[in-house]
Chains A and B, each alone.
Chain A
Amino acid sequence: MAETRYMTINMGPQHPSTHGVLRLVLELDGEVVVKAIPHVGHLHRGVEKLSEVKTYHQVIPLTDRLDYTNGIGNNLGYVLTVEKLLGIEAPKRAQYIRVAVAELQRLAAHLIWLATHALDIGAMTVLFYCFRERESILRIIEEVSGGRLTPTYFRMGGLAKDIPEGFEERVRSFLEDFPRRINEYETLLTKNVIWMRRTKGVGILTAEEAINYGASGPTLRGSGVKWDVRKRFPYSSYDEFDFEIPIGEVGDVYDRYMVRLEEMRQSVRIIQQAVDTLPDGPIMADDPRVVLPPKDDVQRNIDALIRQFKIVSEGFEPPKGEVFMSVEAPKGELGFYIVSDGSNHPYRIKIRTPSFINLSILPKMIEGKLIADVVAAIGSIDIVLGEVDR
Chain B
Amino acid sequence: MEANAWIDKVKGQFGASILNVESFRDETTLVVEKEKLVEVLEFLKKESDLSYDYLTDVCGVDYKPRKPRFEVVYHLCSTQYDRRLRVKVPVEEGDSVPSVESIWKAANWYERETYDMLGIRFENHPDLRRILTWDDFEGHPLRRDFPVKGKDFDKPFVPEL
Give the interface of A toward B (CB within 8 A): 40-41, 44, 46, 48-50, 52-53, 84-85, 87, 209, 211-214, 225, 227, 232-233, 321-324, 326, 333, 335, 337, 339, 347-348, 350, 352, 356-357, 360, 389-390
Given A50-B148, A53-B148, A357-B109, are A214 and B104 neighbors across the interface (CB < 8 Å)? yes
State in angstroms the CA–CA spacing of A50 and B55 once bound together.
26
Cα of A44 to Cα of B157 in the assembled complex, Å: 15
Contact with A along B47-91 (1 / 0, CB 8 A): 000000111110101100000000001010001001010100000
The reply to whether the CB of B145 lies closer than 8 angstroms to some CB of chain A is: no
For residue B115, which residues in chain A have a CB less than 8 angstroms away from its CB?
none
Complex Cα spacing A324 to B29, Å: 11
Q: Is the CB of A352 within 8 A of B56?
A: yes
Specify the chain A residue showing the minimal Cβ separation from B137.
Answer: A41
| Cβ–Cβ contact B148 & A337, under 8 A | no
CB pair A337 B55 closer than 8 Å: no
Chain A residue contacts of B106, Cβ below 8 A: 212-214, 357, 360
Whether a CB of chain A sits under 8 angstroms from the CB of B17 is no
A-B interface contact total, Cβ < 8 Å: 90
Residue numbers in A under 8 Å from B56 (CB-CB):
214, 324, 326, 333, 335, 352
> Chain B, interface size: which category?
35 or more
- Select one of B73, B82, B146 contacting A337, CB under 8 A: B73
- Kindly list chain B residues whose C-beta atoms are within 8 Å of the C-beta of A225: 79
B24 to chain A, nearest CB (A): 4
Chain A residue contacts of B128, Cβ below 8 A: none
25 CB < 8 A contacts A-B: A40-B131, A40-B132, A44-B133, A48-B117, A211-B79, A212-B104, A212-B106, A213-B105, A225-B79, A227-B79, A322-B27, A323-B24, A326-B56, A337-B73, A339-B61, A348-B61, A350-B57, A350-B59, A350-B73, A352-B56, A352-B59, A352-B75, A357-B110, A360-B106, A390-B132
List the B side residues contacting A333 at CB < 8 Å: 56
Which secondary structure characterizes the binding site on chain B?
A: mixed
Q: Which residue of A lies closest to B62 (CB)?
A: A348
Q: Which residues of A contact B79 (CB under 8 A)?
A: 211, 225, 227
Chain A residues with CB below 8 A from B57, complex form: 324, 335, 337, 350, 352
* Complex Cα gap A139–B44 (Å): 48
A52 to B27, CA, bound (A): 23
Provide the residues of chain A in CB contact with B109, threshold 8 Å.
356-357, 360
CB distance from A222 to the nearest CB of B (A): 15
Residues of A within 8 A of B132 (CB): 40-41, 44, 389-390
Given A50-B148, A212-B105, A84-B75 contact (CB < 8 Å):
no
Residues of B within 8 A of A357 (CB): 106, 109-110
By a CB distance below 8 angstroms, the chain A residues around B25 are: 84-85, 87, 321, 323
- What chain A residues lie within 8 Å of B110 (beta carbons)? 357
Which residue of chain B has its CB nearest to the CB of A233? B82
Q: What B residues does A213 contact at CB under 8 A? A: 104-106
Q: How far is the CB of A374 from chain B (nearest CB, A)?
A: 19
- A41 pairs with B61, CB closer than 8 A: no
Given contacts A49-B142, A212-B104, A360-B109, contact A324 B84 (CB under 8 A): yes
Residues of B near A85 (CB, < 8 A) are 25
Closest partner residue, chain A, to B117 (CB atom): A48
Chain B residues 1 to 30 lying within 8 A of chain A, measured CB to CB, are 24-25, 27, 29
14 additional A-B pairs beyond A233-B84, A324-B84, beta carbons within 8 Å, are: A41-B131, A41-B134, A49-B141, A50-B148, A85-B25, A211-B54, A214-B56, A214-B105, A227-B79, A321-B24, A322-B24, A337-B59, A348-B142, A390-B132
When C-beta atoms are compared, the residue in chain B nearest to A212 turns out to be B105
Chain A residues with Cβ below 8 Å from B131 are 40-41
Q: Is the CB of B75 within 8 A of A335?
A: yes
Tell me, in angstroms, the Cα distance from A211 to B59 when the chains sit together: 19
The CA of A225 and the CA of B79, in the complex, are separated in Å by: 9
Q: Which residues of B have CB within 8 Å of A323?
A: 24-25, 27
Q: Is the CB of A48 within 8 A of B54?
A: no
- CB-CB under 8 A from A53, the residues of chain B are 148
Contacts of B53 in A (CB 8 A): 211-212
Instruction: Give bound CA distance, A156 to B122, whole Å.
Output: 37
Complex Cα gap A252–B17 (Å): 43
B126 CB to closest chain A CB, in angstroms? 12
Q: Which residues of chain A come closer than 8 Å to B61, judged between CB atoms?
A: 339, 347-348
Query: In the complex, A389→B106 CA distance in Å?
Result: 17
Determine which residue in B53, B55, B56, B108 has the highest number of CB atoms from chain A within 10 A of its CB, and name it: B56
User: In the complex, how many angstroms separate the beta carbon of A259 from the nearest chain B beta carbon?
Assistant: 17
Question: Could you say which residues of chain B place their CB within 8 Å of the CB of A46?
Answer: 141
Cβ of A48: which chain B residues have Cβ within 8 Å of it?
Answer: 117, 142
4 closest Cβ contacts across the A-B interface?
Answer: A214-B106, A41-B132, A350-B59, A360-B109
The residues of B that contact A52 with a CB separation of less than 8 Å are 148
